Amino acid sequence: MITGSGFADLDAMLGGGLPSGLLLSVGAGCSQGTTSFLLTAALNIALGKDPAGVAIFTPAFTRARVLAKLIGLESGIAPGYYSIMSPGVPDWPTV
């Protein structure tokens, strides 16, 4: 089974997407967007038109930080903004 990553150019290079059971790993220097790229691909795979299970492992981030990044990707609100907010802040419901 082939699952699209949500990145059209990458899927084209891979012959339509990622084969089932494939381990996708990306490496680069700090702050190069590798975690954001992989989390975006994971969301696209998990929530796409042909959803598939996804597991995420990163030694660089805690579970809370990965979750904050996932929430940020889905909501469009930067994790640094809502992680410092308290329930009394008027914009909290938008998060």
Pairwise CA distance, residues 91 & 40, whole Å:
25
Tens digits of residue pLDDT in 25-38: 767 666 777 788 88
Provide the whole-model pTM: 0.68
Q: What is the pLDDT of residues 36-74, one digit of tens each?
A: 888 888 888 888 777 778 888 887 788 888 888 888 888
| Residue 80 and residue 49 in contact, taking contact as beta carbons nearer than 8 Å | no
The tokens describing 47, both together, are 């929530």
What is the three-class DSSP state of 18?
strand
- State whether residue 63 is helix, strand or coil: helix
> At a CB cut-off of 8 Å and minimum separation 6, what does 78 contact?
72
